[in-house]
């Protein structure tokens, strides 16, 4: 996506990088929860669903906290929606959100 550049302060912000990784873990938890939901509907044990939901909830809490803390380190604050889209974009990028030297 064009126009989805992160503010320079976010490249070195450890809270931002943690929010990116927590959201990536949340994707895995959500996939496990969906698989567990399908397995439960087919009559299997709901343990996969429970584990997936727990992973997703913990990842969501960490993502939210780190997202809020990362906003405090930015001099020119973008809007919440644009930062949310930057976060989602950063999670699907192949390279890390840390600056490469």
Domain boundaries, the chain: 13-92
pLDDT of residue 75: 74
CB 97 within 8 A of CB 10: yes
Compute the Cα dihedral for 52, 53, 55, 56 and give only its sign.
positive
pLDDT of residue 3: 47
Mean pLDDT for 22-36 is 96
What tens digit of pLDDT does each residue of 39-85 get? Answer: 999 999 899 999 999 999 999 999 999 998 888 877 777 788 888 88
Nearest partner of 91 among 2, 31, 25, judged by Cα: 25
pLDDT of residue 70: 87
Distance CA 25, CA 59 (A): 6
pLDDT higher than 90, residue 99: no
Prediction pTM value: 0.79
What is the rounded end-to-end Cα distance, in angstroms, of the chain?
23
């Amino acid at each position: 996506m064009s126009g989805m550049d992160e503010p320079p302060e976010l490249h070195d912000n450890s809270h931002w990088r943690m929010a990116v990784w927590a959201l990536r873990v949340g994707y895995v938890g959500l996939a496990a929860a969906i698989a567990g939901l399908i397995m439960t509907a087919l009559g299997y044990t709901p343990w996969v669903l429970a584990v997936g939901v727990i992973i997703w909830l913990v990842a969501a809490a960490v993502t939210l906290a780190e997202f809020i803390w990362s906003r405090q380190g930015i001099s020119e604050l973008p809007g919440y929606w644009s930062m949310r889209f930057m976060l989602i974009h950063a999670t699907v990028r192949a390279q890390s959100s840390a600056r490469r030297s």
